[in-house]
């Protein structure tokens, strides 16, 4: 198999125009630091990239330019600009800086690939995320959550960050692989952690050179990528062997709706990926399936875990909201009866939905969408030259007081006053937009509501340090809370 870490950019992709050297470019540009000046200090940029972008927007406006490592960047923050880049003019852009590093781990999976591969894979991979399949996943999500929460004892201090990560990994692994993935879970979690950390310095062009340094910190990156590829290849080989022995059936849901028990011989995402056919009857080869498996593991757990951890921290600062959520959880029949929920039941939970919407606004797990312009293009009146790096940022646009008064305040009720449909397009994009919109949006929302409600029904979580109930951020490839976010558990229900 060809491993992603060293694989060249596929020849079928559009050629990438070279990055723009700011000093040699004399076309019109939006204002910003480094226009005609020395550029931005890397240290300042890396110390707190979301904060840096927010300060730029406050100082220079909705469209800003700056240079980093000698290359031209444009930050576009107004809703119509976000909409322009992600939706209207999406054909003029490909995924940008951070994704080049992500590709070393995820290869040509859905998150990192480009046209024409993207369209073909996206069409095939939509099926496992169809609405009718979600009911089956809801049972697994609720069962995994129940197992996790049962070990949270009254009076104990629980590291909420790592526990949410373990829980969402367990859920994505069970729904994806259909086996109890615990035997591989530790290995996956360990290598994913390193990979995500090293993908990290997302916005820094030219980091690839450092990857070749003989320092353990850098060398751990290709090792983790290889390890992940090996686990995924092993899972695929096991599944192919099982299919040949005739034990992997198709057509039935992965979870038995009666018992909520997981049956590995039935259909799951991996079975679907292996069986997938496009209109011409072609399927995915093993390299492609491996890249998609790793893509779904990475994109399918870390984001959801982060937003759930933030939500618990925010809830501890908003007792009235927490009480409303607890009251709603106490009325959920699936929780009081201890059975698997239906999608309808979970999605009808109003307060849980508002808490999530607000957490996704303030702490958007995907806080930036880096792009590269393939051609000269104009977006909402801003001329973007071919080769420029373009950043739209959920973190910045979600904090714009024009759409979100008192933007730093955690206020789920704001969504009652001004629901998402009343906002301009592009103002609120936690799941991105256009043809690269999140594939797992409904999966994630369902899972996050189930976990939020199950916690609210059984437990009350308090920060161990009440003076700092909300942890500082450690923005990486995703918007993570710093540290383990320890919280003290009080059991509401046995």
Question: Rule CB under 6 A: which residues touch ligand HEM?
Answer: 110-111, 122, 172, 295-296, 299-300, 303-304, 307, 365-366, 369, 430-432, 436, 438-440, 443-444
Q: What is the C-alpha separation between 442 and 419, in angstroms, rounded? A: 18
* Least distance in angstroms from the C-beta of 52 to ligand HEM: 19
Q: How distant is the alpha carbon of residue 182 from its chain centre?
A: 22
CB 369, CB 394: distance < 8 Å: yes
Closer CB to ligand HEM, 271 or 439, in the complex: 439
Q: What is the C-alpha separation between 166 and 184, in angstroms, rounded? A: 12
Instruction: Determine the residue with CB nearest ligand HEM.
Output: 440
Dig out the tokens for 350 from the structure: 């109003």
Angle 175-178-181 from CA coordinates, rounded to 5°: 90
Length reported for the chain: 494
Closer CB to ligand HEM, 314 or 443, in the complex: 443
* Least distance in angstroms from the C-beta of 392 to ligand HEM: 9
Closer CB to ligand HEM, 22 or 442, in the complex: 442
* Least distance in angstroms from the C-beta of 241 to ligand HEM: 25
What's 430's DSSP letter? T
**CA-based nearest residue to 445, from 28, 141, 154, 33:** 141
Phi first, then psi, for residue 229 (nearest 5°) are: -60, -40
Closer CB to ligand HEM, 124 or 456, in the complex: 124
**CA-based nearest residue to 139, from 341, 336, 442, 343:** 341
Closer CB to ligand HEM, 173 or 489, in the complex: 173
Q: What is the C-alpha separation between 413 and 146, in angstroms, rounded? A: 28
Closer CB to ligand HEM, 239 or 372, in the complex: 372
Closer CB to ligand HEM, 87 or 220, in the complex: 87
Dihedral angle sign, alpha carbons of residues 318, 305, 127, 453: negative
* Least distance in angstroms from the C-beta of 319 to ligand HEM: 25
* Least distance in angstroms from the C-beta of 342 to ligand HEM: 19
3-state secondary structure of 151: coil
CB 121, CB 290: distance < 8 Å: no
Alpha helices (H) along 151-215 = 160-177, 182-199, 208-211
Closer CB to ligand HEM, 299 or 309, in the complex: 299
* Least distance in angstroms from the C-beta of 137 to ligand HEM: 9
Q: How distant is the alpha carbon of residue 232 from its chain centre?
A: 20
Dig out the tokens for 427 from the structure: 């103002």
* Least distance in angstroms from the C-beta of 253 to ligand HEM: 17
Q: What is the C-alpha separation between 114 and 202, in angstroms, rounded? A: 18
């Amino acid at each position: 198999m060809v491993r992603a870490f060293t694989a060249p950019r596929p020849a079928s992709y559009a050629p990438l125009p070279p990055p723009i050297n700011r000093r040699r470019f004399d076309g019109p540009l939006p204002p910003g630091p480094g226009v005609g000046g020395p550029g931005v200090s890397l240290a300042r940029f890396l110390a707190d990239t979301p904060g840096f972008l927010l300060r730029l927007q406050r100082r220079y406006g909705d469209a800003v330019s700056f240079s980093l490592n000698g290359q031209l960047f444009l930050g576009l923050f107004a809703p119509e600009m976000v909409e322009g880049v992600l939706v209207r003019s999406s054909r003029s852009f490909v995924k940008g800086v951070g994704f080049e590093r992500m590709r070393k781990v995820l290869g040509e999976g859905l998150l990192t690939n480009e046209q024409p591969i993207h369209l073909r894979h996206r069409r095939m991979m939509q099926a496992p995320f169809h609405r009718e399949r979600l009911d089956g996943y809801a049972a697994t999500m609720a069962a995994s959550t129940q197992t996790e929460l049962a070990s949270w004892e009254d009076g104990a201090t629980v590291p909420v960050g790592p526990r949410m990560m373990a829980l969402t990994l367990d859920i994505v692994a069970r729904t994806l692989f259909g086996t109890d993935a615990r035997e591989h879970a530790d290995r996956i979690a360990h290598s994913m952690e390193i990979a995500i950390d090293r993908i990290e310095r997302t916005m820094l062009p030219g980091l690839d050179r450092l990857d070749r340094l003989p320092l353990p910190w850098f060398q751990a990156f290709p090792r983790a990528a290889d390890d992940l590829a090996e686990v995924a290849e092993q899972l695929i080989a096991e599944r192919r062997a099982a299919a040949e022995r005739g034990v992997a059936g198709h057509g039935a849901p992965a979870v038995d709706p009666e018992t909520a028990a997981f049956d590995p011989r039935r259909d799951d995402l991996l079975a679907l990926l292996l069986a997938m056919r496009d209109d011409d009857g072609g399927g995915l080869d093993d390299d492609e399936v491996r890249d998609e498996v790793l893509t779904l593991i990475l994109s399918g757990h870390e984001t959801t875990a982060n937003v759930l951890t933030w939500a618990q921290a925010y809830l501890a600062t908003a007792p009235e909201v927490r009480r409303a959520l607890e009251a709603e959880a106490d009325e959920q029949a699936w929780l009081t009866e201890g059975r698997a929920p239906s999608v309808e039941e979970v999605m009808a939970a109003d307060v849980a939905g508002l808490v999530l919407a607000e957490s996704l606004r303030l702490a958007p797990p995907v806080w930036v969408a880096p792009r590269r312009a393939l051609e000269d293009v104009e977006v909402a009146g801003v001329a973007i030259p071919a080769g420029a790096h373009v950043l739209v940022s959920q973190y910045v646009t979600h904090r714009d007081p024009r759409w979100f008064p008192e933007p730093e305040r955690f206020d789920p009720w704001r969504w009652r006053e001004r629901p998402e449909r009343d906002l301009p397009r592009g103002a609120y994009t936690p799941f991105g937009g256009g043809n690269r919109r999140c594939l797992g949006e409904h999966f994630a929302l369902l899972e996050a509501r189930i976990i939020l409600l199950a916690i609210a029904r059984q437990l009350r979580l308090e920060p161990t340090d009440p003076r700092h109930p909300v942890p500082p951020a450690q923005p990486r490839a995703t918007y993570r809370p710093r540290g383990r976010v320890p919280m003290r558990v009080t059991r509401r229900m046995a």
